[in-house]
């Protein structure tokens, strides 16, 4: 029963975040990260975007992806999604070997 309660609380939090997403003030300020603003992915990598509802469905169906917080270490310490790991964008290339290749990823 405790696991079900935790999942429900997590889903409620995700849905709350989804309701806030229409408010532009919740988006990251790109001016804080100018070094990443114009980067592009290699041609052989195609990202799949997921919304909060789809992510909640994955979690409910026990297919929880590895969630990677790419914000600064300071921002991660302030708040982050429980179970996520911190790999700041500036460290990403150096730490890419730590990321498992057999699991779905969500970067935020």
C-alpha 74 chain-centroid distance: 16
The pTM of the whole model exceeds 0.75: no
Task: For domain 65-108, give the CATH superfamily.
Answer: Rhodanese-like domain (3.40.250.10)
HSE, side-chain direction, 13 A CA sphere, residue 24 = 2
Predicted pLDDT of residue 76? 93
DSSP string of 8-20?
A: HHHHHHHHHHHHH
More confident residue, 50 or 35: 50
Residue 94: per-residue pLDDT? 92
Ordered by start, the domain boundaries in the chain are 1-23+48-64, 65-108
Per-residue pLDDT tens over the stretch 6-36: 565 565 555 555 555 555 555 566 677 677 6
């Amino acid at each position: 029963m405790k696991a079900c309660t935790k999942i429900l609380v997590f889903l409620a939090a995700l849905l709350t975040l989804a309701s806030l997403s229409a408010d532009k003030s919740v988006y990251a300020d790109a001016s804080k990260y100018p070094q990443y603003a114009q980067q592009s992915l290699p041609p052989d990598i195609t990202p799949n975007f997921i919304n909060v509802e789809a992510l909640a469905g994955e979690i409910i169906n026990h297919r929880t992806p590895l969630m990677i917080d790419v914000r600064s270490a300071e921002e991660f310490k302030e708040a982050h999604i429980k179970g996520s790991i911190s790999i700041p964008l500036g460290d990403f290339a150096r730490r890419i070997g730590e990321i498992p290749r057999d699991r779905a990823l969500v970067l935020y």
